[in-house]
Amino acid sequence: MKQLLISGLVIVSSFYVWAADLESMKRELQDAPGWPDMVTPEELKSKGDKLITTLVKCQNLSPDQVRQLIAFLLQNANPDQRMSAWTKVYVLNRLYCNVPEWVQTDDIKFFGGWGGIPVKDQRIRLLYPLVRDSVDSFHIGNLIGSYTGPDYFGLEEFDYLLKRFGVRTSSKGASKGS
């Protein structure tokens, strides 16, 4: 049984979404803003909240369905949409999987060259760019830094994070005070 918390409502479901809903989710996520679309603090709030609200809906999907969604996003992004698709997958991986806030730098694999990720005392902030507020809601807390690596392997990262940390059992949408 899967439980999803959104704005104080508890939705309990013993089944995952149907194929038609997965197709709808693909379109919705394609249309959602990517992290590169957030270039001002105001856009970070408004567009970031829209992205998080969309991504939280993925909590209703099985891991196999999320994997299909990620593959779809990565394979169907044209060159000018590639970075946007990569960032949606990057944030989705951290929201869907039960990624901890911090991990030891020597105890994690990397699947891309994201810049700006906080590192402190030999620990890396794996949840970046997500910020969890006091009521366990998530929001995007930082404007995008840079990307200086080879292609981002978002599907491989999803498989790794899922195997290592499992599925986050509850997530709330964008926090009201972010």
Q: What is the pLDDT of residue 2?
A: 47
- Binned at pLDDT 50, 70 and 90, residue 10 comes out as very low
Q: What is the pLDDT of residue 20?
A: 62
Average pLDDT (165-177) is 69
What b/e string do you get for 166-176 counting C-beta neighbours within 10 Å, with b at 16 or more? Answer: eeeeebbbbbe
* pLDDT at 1 exceeding the cut of 50: no
Percent of all residues in the chain with a pLDDT value above 70, rounded to a whole number: 82
Cα(first)–Cα(last) distance of the chain, in Å? 30
Please report, for the chain, the start and end positions of each structural domain, with discontinuous segments joined by +.
2-174
pTM of the model: 0.83
Task: Judge contact between 162 and 97, C-beta under 8 A.
Answer: yes
- Taking only the tens place, the pLDDT of each residue in 90-139 is 999 999 999 999 999 998 888 988 888 889 999 999 999 999 886 678 98
Task: Judge contact between 54 and 110, C-beta under 8 A.
Answer: no
Kindly report the number of other CB atoms within 10 A of residue 137's CB atom.
Answer: 22
